[in-house]
Homo-oligomer: A and B are copies of this chain.
Amino acid sequence: MRVTDGMSEVSESSAGSPERSLAASARRAQIVEAAIETLAECGHGQTTFARIRQRAGISSTRLISYHFGTKGELMDAVLEEVGLRAHQAISQRVAGESSASGALTARIEAQVEWVAHNSSAVRAMSEICRNERDAEGVLRYGVEVTARANVEGLEPILRAGQESGEFRQFDTGLMALTLKSAIDAAIVRMARPPRLTLAQCVHELTTLAHLATRKES
């Protein structure tokens, strides 16, 4: 039986069991972390096994293919890890809000702050989603996947606000995308003079969202 067909060599050892040995999990985490940093710093095109190996401080690239099988699966693991981190950090902060307007503000705050403090993870995710392709050359993750962690949380709020009458009528899909883009734009803006603080950015964005969504008086 062939051992490697796109599957990690370790995953098949305990067939069926979702658990992984402690050492293996640690190794995987170490490699994923190195991959995130490399993606953020060098970009997808320069993110090679050799560079990841170097940053992770491991002896051979063989260790990477040993634990993840192929490069694509490593990218999957990175995406999963980043998505998990974002979800854990953001979702709970929106929970307490009762009004759609409040929820929207809370969500934007949470999101922009997380993005600002986890730029490497965000860049890594972005690099993968926009560049990772399969053998035929088609993007493996559409904008869909990119949107999921962040936009997915935004659109339900917008829909709820329209249904409750808090918000005016607009295309919720486009508005969600716009707000998500605005959040990313804020990170770009913060890097440029004249300097804006994180709090100022948050305020600008929540104001913008409020004005763009509220029902005309």
Main secondary structure of the interface of A (DSSP, over half): helix
Interface residues of A in 126-153 (CB under 8 A from B): 130-131, 133, 135-137, 139, 143
Q: A51-B3, A54-B3, A196-B174 are in contact. Are A46 and B133 (CB under 8 A)?
A: yes
Minimum distance in angstroms from A165 CB to a CB of chain B: 17
- Specify which of A1, A14, A178, A212 lies most central, judged by the most chain B CB atoms within 10 Å of its CB: A178
Query: What is the chain B residue whose CB lies nearest that of A137?
Result: B1
Question: Which residues of A does B touch, CB under 8 Å?
Answer: 1, 3-4, 12-14, 41-46, 48, 50-51, 54, 59, 130-131, 133, 135-137, 139, 143, 170-171, 173-175, 177-178, 180-182, 184-186, 188-189, 192, 194, 196, 200-201, 204-205, 207-208, 211-212
Further 18 A-B residue pairs, CB within 8 A, beyond A3-B51, A175-B204: A1-B46, A1-B137, A3-B48, A4-B50, A12-B59, A42-B133, A42-B137, A45-B45, A131-B131, A170-B207, A170-B208, A174-B182, A174-B204, A175-B208, A177-B188, A178-B208, A180-B185, A181-B184
Those 4 A-B pairs whose CB atoms lie nearest each other, nearest first? A1-B137, A181-B181, A177-B185, A178-B182
